[in-house]
Amino acid sequence: MEDDCLFFPELYRLQDQADESGLPPNTRELRNLIDLCTLCGLCPCQDIKMLILQAKAAFSDEKGIPLSSRMLSDIETIGRWGTTFSQVINPLKGLKPVVPLVKKALKIHPQRDLPGFPKQSFFLWAKKKGLDIPNPGNRGCTSKVAYFAGCSAGYLFPEVGKAAVRLLERNGIAVYVPTQECCSMPLIMEGDKTTSLKKIAANMERLLQCVQDGYDIVCSCPTCGYFFKKLLLENAYYSEAFQEQSGAGSKAMKVPLGGQRFTLVSRGSYRKLLKDDGYFSSLDPLKRIKLSNSVTDLGEYLLSIYLKGDLNINRVYQDVPMVYYAPCHLREQKIGQPYYSLLKSLEGSDIIQIGEAMECCGMGGHLGYKKSFHAHTLEIGQPLFKRFLSEKNRMIITDCLSCKIQFEQMLARKVFHPLELL
């Protein structure tokens, strides 16, 4: 793990230092420590992630969030303005004096490429198609989904969102694109708890209304899916509201074992330890549980249809040699690798998988743009870069658009989302 994670080696170093000196780490050392975490989710200690989030929020409450970090983490606003004024912004990238000034102002590393913006966001495209209007029926379709596209597909790579809609509609599935905020992962990584909770609450209300109206909720972004299905769920089952609803009784607690499996433990022994007192505890725990259990990764959704023999897919690319990387946030959802399984099952397909269990691209979303994090992003991603370089003749496939940004710059190769091939 020391080769793949920046946080734990530094944590151990600080502990050894404290043991030797008899002095605890100072504030600066602790701040530097939590800034090393990209929330990839691969750490084996469940509590660590939430403790880091709370520490980030505490530091931000005390010291504030630097303007550059606040702007970089607001992907939603950047994307909305960037696509609206893309015809002005994109040409400015070609002017030599402009780019260095922008990077300096936002504290972006000089070697990191700035993203280009499409002329039209996915959300505007969807609105023009009438997909922003809920459908009380199924529009003559077999089923219907509410599609949570996320900011990357929504604003930076609309071709992915469009591919998702076209594939679903080709298979007789009605698509609704509800009004949606950023899932808030970039915000919580900066410790912006106030803004993130507002956005999460808004998303939760809209998506749960979709569930009530009979929609299946699907995400094409592994990070959004990981957030809704895993992070937001953290400790919700320990809440008094769930325990009362579960019927565990006054002397027992119903505790999750993973998936939909539960066990009973003594309330007297565990009630002080197992509590819903974490980062998201101010949000209704029953709504968090319901949303978590209602969200499905789009790849998983499509694979389930394919296994029934009902999926109509594009087979144009099935003879093209491919190499697939399963991103961290997909692996942490514990749903397997649905797109890889789907592509591999196609007759005549030539696809291999790459990446070890703990390997990460290192981008960390907006963190990869930061000047202060650039060396770290290269350090984390280097083992994976080397693996891809040994497969130069294969098309790179990954579900994560943050990984796409990283691989396209560091490997100088085009990277595709599986939806674009199907």
Domain ranges in the chain? 6-66, 313-420
What integer is the mean pLDDT of 361-375?
94
Residues 170, 312 contacting (CB under 8 angstroms): yes
Are the beta carbons of 264 and 248 closer than 8 angstroms?
Answer: yes
Pairing of strands 415-416, 395-398: parallel
Output the 3-class SS for 316-371: CCCCCCEEEECCHHHHCCCCCCHHHHHHHCCCCCCEEEECCCCCCCCCCHHHHHEH
pLDDT at 140: 66
Give which of 111, 119, 176 is closest to 145, Cα–Cα: 176
Give this prediction's pTM. 0.93
Tell me the mean pLDDT in the region 116-122. Answer: 94
Nearest to 116 by CA among 149, 162, 145, 83: 83
Residue 50 is predicted with a pLDDT of 86
User: In the sheet where 415-416 sits, what is the strand order?
Assistant: 351-354, 322-325, 395-398, 415-416
pLDDT of residue 372: 93
Q: How many CB atoms lie within 10 A of CB 181?
A: 18
pLDDT, position 304: 95
Could you tell me the sign of the dihedral formed by the alpha carbons of 190, 194, 199, 205, in that order?
positive
Tell me the average pLDDT of the chain.
92
* 152 burial via Cβ count (<10 Å: 0-12, 13-18, 19+): buried
What does the pLDDT read at residue 16? 93
Report the pLDDT value the prediction gives residue 139, as an integer from 0 to 100.
62
Q: How confident is the model at residue 1 (pLDDT cuts 50, 70, 90)?
A: low
What is the predicted pLDDT for the residue at 97?
Answer: 85
Tell me the mean pLDDT in the region 56-71.
92
List CB contacts of 92: < 8 A, sequence separation 6 or more: 98, 99
Taking only the tens place, the pLDDT of each residue in 377-403 is 999 999 999 999 999 999 999 999 999
Q: End-to-end CA distance of the chain, in Å?
A: 35
Confidence of residue 408 (pLDDT cuts 50, 70, 90): very high
pLDDT of residue 168 exceeding 90: yes
Identify the pLDDT of residue 88: 86
- CA dist 183 and 154 (Å) reads 12
Helical spans, DSSP H, in 178-327? 185-189, 193-212, 222-226, 240-246, 267-270, 285-294, 298-307
Helix (H) or strand (E) holding 262: strand 261-266
pLDDT, residue 257, reads: 86
In the chain, the percentage of residues whose pLDDT exceeds 70 is 97
Task: Dump pLDDT digits (tens) for 290-329.
Answer: 999 999 999 999 999 999 988 888 877 778 899 999 999 9
* 258 sits in which H/E element: strand 252-258
Q: Assess contact for 388 and 396: CB atoms under 8 A.
A: yes
Q: What is the pLDDT of residue 3?
A: 61
Please say whether the beta carbons of 69 and 190 come within 8 A: yes
Q: How confident is the model at residue 137 (pLDDT cuts 50, 70, 90)?
A: low
d(CA 418, CA 164): 10
